Chains A and B, each alone.
Chain A
Amino acid sequence: MSKKIVLAEDEPQIARLIEFKLKKEGYSVTWKENGEEALKAIKADKPDLILLDIMMPVMDGYEVLRRLKEDENLKSIPVVMLTARAQEKDVVKGIDMGAEDYITKPFHPAELLARVKRILGKPG
């Protein structure tokens, strides 16, 4: 059984890129294009890692993060934030709110994979 990752990202092309890289490595990836959908999927799937974009429609990354950390069942799941470098302050905010790590866009797919691996170890 491979390790499960929920990816919350509103840009389909970027989501596809991440999904491709992680799936190729052997992880199981569930992609959701807004915060609310992602939160539903997290509650249903109980993933091993969450990749969370900050600027998203319907519900933004912070709100998802806040709700996750309030939920006793979900608060231990590591979260990696995806941010644009424009929001430097936001990185600090994310880490303060309990995010495990962050990746700034644009990123190298290999670097993203390395960070995921650092947290999750081998995919399966």
Chain B
Amino acid sequence: MKNKSTKHISISEHLIWLGIGLAILYWILESAMDAFVFHEGTLTERMLGASPNESWMRAVIMSIIIIFAVYAQIGITRRKKVEEALRKQTHDMNQRVRELECLYGISGLVEKRHIPLQEILESAVDLVAFAWQYPEITCARIILRDEEFKTDSFRETAWKQAVDIVVHDEQIGTLEVCYLEERPESDEGPFLKQERSLIGAIAKQLAGVIDHKEVEAEITRVADDLRQIIENANAPIFGIDKKGLINEWNKKTVEITGFDKDEVMGKDLPKELINQDHRESVKKVLAMALKGEDTANYELTLFTNEGLRVIILLNATSRRDPANNIVGVIGIGQDITERKKIEQMKSDFVALASHELRTPLTSIQGYAELILDGDVGEISREQREFLEIISQNTRRLEALINDVLDVEKIESGRMTMKREKVDLSRIVDSCVKTFKIMAEGKGLQLEKDVKTSPMNVLGDSDRLSQVLSNLLSNAIKYTKEGRVKITARIKGEFASVAVEDTGLGMSPEDMKIVFSRFFRAEDSYVRKTTGSGLGLSIAKATIERHNGDIKVESKLGAGSKFEVVLPLFKEKEGAGQ
């Protein structure tokens, strides 16, 4: 290609002289022919016919030859220029193509997933070197933080281009391109203008790649960490897809159920692993989670591969894709089989123990009262007094057993509460009647202040009566002198019953724990009084089950005030079990 164009140049340079040469040759030939060959007329006359002026004609022909030569030369020169421009353009195009290939190649490296950044940068330096106009003497190097990636031939020379690689406004590395030998300067310096902007573009591209890869690596790392955590968590974690097919099954789940991951993956959870009795309920919970409603503390009953029953306290929550569409459910559980067993054993034990205690108690109390009633004959004053002590203590023991049973029921969630319309003012009346004798026996005044009647709330009258009795009994017990007052009022949407005394009162420290189990005021006077220390904790649980609140105000030495607040009964709520 290069040789061919050189030949063109040499011919076109001589074309004009060729024309002039030909013209002179023609003149000589004409003159010779006229002198020696033709005796009549001239060559010109023979060619063009008779003409008035021989010399003029010759000049015209010579001129035609010269003009033709000049014209030919101009044409050739123009073509040469066009060809030159075309050649340059082709070269430039090739150069641009190589630059584009370089940029494209680098961006292509990102597309290939799971290729580490290091490998990408190693390939990138080779692509960079090839994009420069003298690839054979071009070398490149990328420095990323404390790592270096370079072409095999890399050597730092005086003919060097360098640019920063910047990610999120932070310089994280450098891209360098060097010529190994000197080359004539084009534009300004050894590198083309395009090459100077190319290196900038490559650096930007590399910055994008590095950022992308580092984020990708971080995501992979986080995902791996999560996977590790899920897999090794000391809690059963499993997942299902939208169809209910298992797609997650961690180690702990394998351990608990006895089913290997391979055995259950892709299987229908409710169908294959839940027995018929619980299937519908489990389906419902999963369906709810698939609708985006989280389920907390669902007791999932499973059977192991050996047929043993396992109870898992499950929190089911929906799993979403990046577009926030629900794609499945993930369940995180807690194996509570043992806990359930222990709870059952405990409540069985409490129930049994209290039943077993009740039988001898029935005998003791029954026979003591039989004698006290005079059914077996007259008894002396002392016999009566001592039998009454026996009787009193059996009642105390009975109350204690009942309290322990109540606490057990509250704890196991088995305390049953009726939900019916209850008139609090009537409960107050009957409690006051019951405790009047006890109060008067201690020389205390028992005042009642009930402004509204009826005062209806929704609840269990026996339980509410138990609460008010407990408050009154405490007030009387802990008051040496003065009065005990019970007040019932309607306060907005609520019914309030307060029991106030002029008794011992409590320190702020005691007030904090007054509703906790086995609380007994620290006082020598109180020590002499009886009680299980469970009453107030039962009262609190009872009132809370009624959606109410129980509060205390007290000052040491200045009495206490316990207030029970319950939502008023609304007709539309209705009553029922």
Interface: B167 (CB within 8 A)? no
Q: A11-B359, A84-B355, A88-B416 are in contact. Are A106 and B398 (CB under 8 A)?
A: yes
Residues of B within 8 A of A41 (CB): none
Interface: B516 (CB within 8 A)? no
Residues of B within 8 A of A110 (CB): 369, 373
A85 pairs with B402, CB closer than 8 A: yes
Pick from B362, B375, B394, B416: contact of A14, CB under 8 Å:
B362
| Complexed CA–CA distance, A110 and B372 (Å) | 11
B366 pairs with A17, CB closer than 8 A: yes
B355 pairs with A109, CB closer than 8 A: no
A14 pairs with B366, CB closer than 8 A: yes
Interface: B354 (CB within 8 A)? yes
Q: A24-B375, A86-B355 are in contact. Are A109 and B370 (CB under 8 A)?
A: yes
Interface: B361 (CB within 8 A)? yes
Residues of A within 8 A of B369 (CB): 108-110
Contact with B along A80-111 (1 / 0, CB 8 A): 00001110110000000000000001111110
Residues of A within 8 A of B359 (CB): 11, 14, 84, 105
A84 pairs with B358, CB closer than 8 A: yes
| Contact count band on B | 20 to 34
Shortest Cβ distance from residue A118 to the other chain B in the assembled complex, whole angstroms: 18
Most buried by B among A17, A21, A86: A86
Interface: A77 (CB within 8 A)? no
Residues of B within 8 A of A14 (CB): 359, 362-363, 366
Interface: B474 (CB within 8 A)? no
Pick from B367, B373, B394, B405: contact of A85, CB under 8 Å:
B405
B375 pairs with A20, CB closer than 8 A: yes
Chain B residue with Cβ nearest A112: B366
| Complexed CA–CA distance, A109 and B375 (Å) | 10
Shortest Cβ distance from residue A21 to the other chain B in the assembled complex, whole angstroms: 7
| Complexed CA–CA distance, A109 and B365 (Å) | 9
Residues 52-87 of A contacting B (Cβ, < 8 Å): 55, 84-86
Chain B residue with Cβ nearest A88: B416
Residues of A within 8 A of B370 (CB): 17, 20-21, 109
| Complexed CA–CA distance, A17 and B363 (Å) | 8
Interface: B450 (CB within 8 A)? no
| Complexed CA–CA distance, A108 and B358 (Å) | 13
Interface: B351 (CB within 8 A)? yes
B405 pairs with A108, CB closer than 8 A: no
Shortest Cβ distance from residue A89 to the other chain B in the assembled complex, whole angstroms: 7
| Complexed CA–CA distance, A89 and B414 (Å) | 10
A106 pairs with B375, CB closer than 8 A: no
Q: A21-B370, A24-B375, A109-B370 are in contact. Are A86 and B358 (CB under 8 A)?
A: yes
Residues 1-53 of A contacting B (Cβ, < 8 Å): 11, 13-14, 17, 20-21, 24
Q: A17-B367, A85-B402, A86-B354 are in contact. Are A105 and B362 (CB under 8 A)?
A: yes
Shortest Cβ distance from residue A62 to the other chain B in the assembled complex, whole angstroms: 16
B355 pairs with A55, CB closer than 8 A: yes
Q: A21-B375, A24-B375 are in contact. Are A107 and B355 (CB under 8 A)?
A: no
Interface residues of A, Cβ cutoff 8 Å to B: 11, 13-14, 17, 20-21, 24, 55, 84-86, 88-89, 105-110
Q: Which 9 A-B pairs have the closest CB atoms?
A: A106-B362, A17-B366, A105-B362, A106-B365, A13-B363, A84-B358, A106-B361, A84-B355, A105-B358
Interface residues of B, Cβ cutoff 8 Å to A: 351, 354-355, 358-359, 361-367, 369-370, 373, 375, 394, 398, 402, 405, 416
